Amino acid sequence: MNVRRKISPQKVKYGSIKPEGQRLAIRIITSEYLHVQRISKYQYEVISKKSKYFQCVDNIFTKENMRVGHSYLVSFKKNQSLATISKVIKEVTK
């Protein structure tokens, strides 16, 4: 498991970000590869200032490879009970 310090003052709130097919800029805080499921679990915070989810911290599952401490513009899948990323659009630089 890889860990970085989060910037957001909020605590982790599971299910706080609803997957509605939106695009968000996120920053990866922790990563963990789940061998049996062959999928990665990430803890992330939203860094899109115009989003209603700004500074929310949640978990997400994806087969996409992302690095801890890096920021990405991602697209979420629609109407999923389990939050998943459909596509990593690009890496966001500061």
Residue 19 confidence (pLDDT): 83
CA 83 to chain centroid? 9
Domain edges within the chain: 19-92
Least confident of 2-6, 17-21, 57-61: 2-6
Are 26 and 72 in contact by the 8 Å Cβ rule? The answer is yes
Length of the chain: 94
CA–CA separation, 29 and 56 (whole Å)? 12
Cα separation, 13 vs 91, in Å, equals 24
pTM for the predicted model, two decimal places = 0.87
Inform me whether the pLDDT recorded for 27 exceeds 90: yes
Contact between residue 55 and residue 8 where contact means Cβ atoms under 8 Å apart: yes
Our CA angle for 11, 68, 28, nearest 5°, is: 40
Residues of the chain with pLDDT > 70: what percent?
A: 99
What is the distance between the alpha carbons of residues 91 and 56, in angstroms, rounded to a whole number?
A: 19
Domain 19-92 falls under CATH 2.40.50: yes
